[in-house]
A = this chain, B = another copy of it.
Amino acid sequence: MKPLYLFGTHATLAALANPMRKIKRVLVTKNTQAELQKPLAGIKNIAVVDAPKIESALPPGSVHQGIAVECDPLDQPSLQDWLSERIEKPVLLLDQITDPHNVGAILRSAAAFDVGAVIATDRNAPGESGVMAKAASGALETVPLISVTNLVQTIELLKKAGYWIAGLDGTAKQPLHEAKLDAKTALVLGAEGKGLRRLTAEHCDFLVRLPMSNRMESLNVSNAAAVALYEFFVDRSK
């Protein structure tokens, strides 16, 4: 298996602060080590290296801010295990969303708007990566990212556990802000351009749309997720 490297200040410090994350070693430049003296105190296996050494471990163009961590992927819970914890928070279901930047940014918004878990179909979802962790800005360590094989079975499982299933669909009649959003709502998001698959939409309890001008067909998927999760969050705190 290829070693997993996380990089950038937020992503690596969050990984180092996560007791469930198995760290192999930390690569840090002298300058960054000096800046991060406090959060790096007591951390083992630190190698002080020059920037090119860090760059050689990462995809070209990675903005590493002088720090990278070699580690194992997280041991994510199964959906059944997560449900058995009875966390009364909304969840997000991602159907065929493949871009790690988008999944990372979605995890970040999920943390910001207090979502319980992000669930993704595993055939098309990107695995944990440095790019995803960077975009998640620490949220990869705090928001469970649950892989499932079959989205329709997952929807049925969530329904049995008492969740309402809301599909985000540009053609829906009801705008999001007029829907009653329970804490136990699962929001389903499809891939950009394609939207929800027909079978997925049929299994939702209701469909909602983001109100939008006719000047643009759709939002970037991480932006659509942020808007929807914000609306959930504000609705719950009213």
Contact of A220 among B105, B175, B224 (CB under 8 A): B105
Whether, in the assembled complex, A179 has its beta carbon less than 8 Å from a beta carbon of chain B, the answer is: no
The verdict on A109 contacting B213 (CB below 8 Å), with A177-B234, A230-B230 known, is no
The 8 A-B residue pairs whose C-beta atoms are closest, nearest first, are A114-B213, A223-B226, A112-B216, A111-B216, A111-B215, A227-B230, A112-B212, A105-B220
In the complex, the answer to whether A216 meets B177 with C-beta atoms within 8 Å is: no
* Number of A positions contacting B (CB below 8 A): 35
A237 at the interface (CB under 8 A from B): yes
A residues 197-230 near B (Cβ < 8 Å) are: 210-213, 215-216, 218-220, 222-224, 226-227, 230
Work out how many copies of this chain go into the complex. Answer: 2
CA distance A234 to B179 in the complex (A): 14
Are A220 and B219 interface neighbours, CB within 8 A?
no
Within 8 A of B (CB), among A59-82: 60
Q: Give the Cβ gap from A141 to chain B, nearest Cβ, in Å.
A: 11
Of the listed stretches A23-31, A41-49, A132-140, A145-153, chain B binds A132-140
Interface residues of A (CB under 8 A from B): 60, 101, 105, 108-109, 111-114, 135, 137-139, 142, 175, 177, 210-213, 215-216, 218-220, 222-224, 226-227, 230-231, 233-234, 237
**Cross-chain contact A109 with B215 (CB below 8 angstroms):** no
A138 touches B216 (CB 8 A): yes
A231: B residues at CB distance < 8 A: 230
Q: How far is the CA of A111 from the CA of B230 in the complex (A)?
A: 20
Q: How far is the CA of A237 from the CA of B109 in the complex (A)?
A: 25
Complexed CA–CA distance, A224 and B139 (Å): 16
Known: A212-B233, A230-B210, A233-B211. A220 touches B135 (CB 8 A): yes
Q: Which residues of B sit under 8 angstroms from A139, Cβ to Cβ?
A: 215-216
Closest to A226 in B: B223
- Residues of B close to A177: CB separation below 8 A: 234
